[in-house]
Amino acid sequence: MQIPTGALVLEPTADGSMTLFSADFGEWFHSREGAYAEANATYVEATDLATLARAPSLTVLDVCYGLGYNTAAALTAIAQINPACQVQVMALEIDPRVPRQAVEADLIGGWPAIVQDALRELAATGQATRPGLNATLLWGDARQLIQAVEALGFQADVIFFDPFSPPHCPELWTVEFIARVAACLHPQGKLVTYSCAAAVRTALQLAGLSVGPVNAVGRRWPGTLAQVNPRGLAPLSLQEQEHLLTRAAIPYRDPTLNDSAAAIRQRRQQEQAGSDLVPTSRWRKRWLPPHEKKLPAR
Ligand SMILES: C[S@@+](CC[C@H](N)C(=O)[O-])C[C@H]1O[C@@H](n2cnc3c(N)ncnc32)[C@H](O)[C@@H]1O
């Protein structure tokens, strides 16, 4: 995969925090309802980090670090709840311009000073080490990086899974990639993503995880919480269960973890065309009002 080189355009969001638009992926980095709010609610609150942070140590895997907001929200919450907690963060990101722009344009100025310091060091050197924190930001295609992380035996208590949406970045929502990410989740850990796409939930299930809906800020649709152990997960509604029986639930596949987005999209379209699963249009007709025939990508 090529390192993105297209324009990154600054944009304010409704809570006053800034996000970026990626010309390469044709998508915003965050919900326009609030970038900081999304990091706090969709990632930190949805995983109940406040409770997890009472433990003596906590391990976080941040897939698609971007501007670092999800890591920042986690470090802020942990510092408030249990400053003695020993935190390990492993973050994956392909585009070094993004965290650097977040620092240079002072988009991180709303986080506490100690968190800003860590984000600055991570953007500059890929490492932030101090008493209570050992954070590493790995550069490259997450599909390759995750294999190195897995080889280390890394087991995350919490995984923030935040790629661009499946239609725009299918390579990070495949059965094969999600299986590698799931292998880095501790048996009692929690993975959270803003997406409720049926293809994503199927891929999570194929990776051996149970899934439940979770509040995602600024969106009409829930996000997804995934765990090895289903205990504590909210049940999927009938509407969500039926979505998983339609062609929309056919997941993206990338057997060598190396295919282009176009090849991955085409493989899925072919599988959908030959499928005898229920057409998703039937599900939409049953469950969605006429003006809302399409699920929003992000
Ligand atoms: C939705 S943004 C993440 C936002 C981020 N979590 C934050 O809080 O700012 C998606 C990120 O995925 C990165 N990305 C895209 N393709 C990637 C790949 N193959 N491997 C690793 N990172 C990738 C993009 O550069 C972008 O920073």
Is residue 14 situated within a structural domain? no
Is residue 13 situated within a structural domain? no
Is residue 2 situated within a structural domain? no
Pocket of ligand 1 contains residue 169 by CB under 6 Å: yes
**For residue 24, what pLDDT is reported?**
93
- Rounded Cα–Cα distance for residues 9 and 291 (Å): 30
| Closest CA relative to residue 4, chosen from 166, 193, 179, 163 | 163
**For residue 215, what pLDDT is reported?**
86
Which ligand 1 atom sits closest to the C-alpha of 172? Answer: 19
| Closest CA relative to residue 225, chosen from 258, 180, 266, 193 | 193
295 pLDDT more than 60? no
Pocket of ligand 1 contains residue 189 by CB under 6 Å: no
113-125 vs 97-104: helix crossing angle, rounded to 10:
140
* Residue 220 confidence class, pLDDT cut points 50, 70, 90: confident
Is residue 152 situated within a structural domain? yes
Ligand 1 centroid to residue 94 C-alpha, Å: 7
CATH number at residue 233: 3.40.50.150
Is residue 16 situated within a structural domain? no
Is residue 101 situated within a structural domain? yes
State the pTM of this model.
0.96
* Residue 163 confidence class, pLDDT cut points 50, 70, 90: very high
pLDDT digits 0-9 by tens, 108-154: 999 999 999 999 999 999 999 999 999 999 999 999 999 999 999 99
Burial class (CB in 10 A: 0-12, 13-18, 19+), 205: middle
- The single residue listed with the structure tokens 């930001």 is 137
C-beta separation of 166 from 297 below 8 A: yes
What is the residue range of 188's domain? 34-292
Ligand 1 centroid to residue 65 C-alpha, Å: 6
Pocket of ligand 1 contains residue 157 by CB under 6 Å: no
pLDDT digits 0-9 by tens, 79-113: 999 999 999 999 999 999 999 999 999 999 999 99
Is residue 283 situated within a structural domain? yes
| Residues in CB range of 113: below 8 A, 6 or more apart | none
Looking at residue 221, what DSSP letter applies? S
- The structure tokens listed for 86 are 């020993």
Domain count, the chain: 1
Of the given ranges (34-48, 65-79, 228-242, 275-289), which has the lowest mean pLDDT?
275-289
- In the three-class reduction of DSSP (H, G, I as helix; E, B as strand; rest coil), residue 188 is classed as strand
